[in-house]
A and B are shown apart, each in its own frame.
Chain A
Amino acid sequence: GAGVSQSPSNKVTEKGKDVELRCDPISGHTALYWYRQRLGQGLEFLIYFQGNSAPDKSGLPSDRFSAERTGESVSTLTIQRTQQEDSAVYLCASSLNRGRRNTIYFGEGSWLTVV
């Protein structure tokens, strides 16, 4: 498709289970971001991929969170042993490169509910 695609759009999981969230960036976009948005709050930066460089993982809240990206394509955000506080919308975004004037495009998000 033409935009950033995320799946699943909605996920309900039991506390303690692992979840995987997928992001398909726009073709050709070298930069990929993951953000988390808790209810009523702003976006929290989680992780950033730029081409083949080492990812910036400085925003990952705990070692239960990890993300991978294969080349400049699909990325997967994995949350292990989910907790109720992990409930949020997880947003993926991509851009052509890191330049400030390159706009970033967001997916519609994956809404995770941990029960």
Chain B
Amino acid sequence: AQTVTQSQPEMSVQEAETVTLSCTYDTSESDYYLFWYKQPPSRQMILVIRQEAYKQQNATENRFSVNFQKAAKSFSLKISDSQLGDAAMYFCAYRSQGKSTFGDGTTLTVKP
């Protein structure tokens, strides 16, 4: 079975600084997707960034980027120039053949 591990239950960052959230996963599949979701105090789960496993290039979305290390099964999220609105819980997720596995989440606090 696939597992996703987020080893940092809580992280904090100073506004305008950079923070990296870690995520590792375990799978025997070769074709899969990886996601980072943001969950603000509302119930919505906002897709932050997505990475296809077959792509070697790391995905980037504005201030968000990932460091995808397929051999190491690592998928960390880097948030640059952190803003107060980035404060939320972040979930790392793995998806293959319709099955999704989520990490336990990392609560990010942004200090003004």
A contact residues vs B (CB 8 Å cutoff): 9-10, 33, 35, 37, 40-43, 45, 48, 56, 89, 91, 93, 100-101, 103-106, 108-109, 111
- Whether B89 is near chain A, meaning CB under 8 Å from some CB there, is yes
B contact residues vs A (CB 8 Å cutoff): 9, 35, 37, 39, 41, 43-47, 50, 89, 93, 95, 97-102, 104-105, 107
A106 touches B102 (CB 8 A): yes
How far does the Cβ of B94 sit from chain A's closest Cβ, in whole Å?
10
Query: Total number of A-B contacts with CB less than 8 angstroms?
Result: 54
The residue that A43 contacts in the complex, of B41, B45, B97, with Cβ under 8 A, is B45
B100 touches A100 (CB 8 A): no
A43 touches B99 (CB 8 A): no
A111 touches B99 (CB 8 A): yes
A109 touches B45 (CB 8 A): no
**Are A89 and B105 CB-contacts (below 8 A) given A35-B45, A48-B43, A56-B43?**
no
Q: Which residues of A contact B39 (CB under 8 A)?
A: 104
Closest residue of chain B to A4 (Cβ to Cβ) is B102
How far does the Cβ of A60 sit from chain B's closest Cβ, in whole Å?
13
A33 touches B43 (CB 8 A): yes
Q: Which residues of A contact B9 (CB under 8 A)?
A: 103
B101 touches A108 (CB 8 A): yes
How far does the Cβ of A21 sit from chain B's closest Cβ, in whole Å?
13
For this complex, 21 residue pairs linking A to B, each with C-beta atoms less than 8 Å apart, are A9-B98, A9-B99, A37-B95, A37-B100, A42-B45, A42-B47, A43-B37, A43-B44, A45-B44, A89-B95, A93-B102, A100-B41, A100-B107, A104-B105, A108-B101, A109-B98, A109-B99, A109-B100, A111-B97, A111-B98, A111-B99
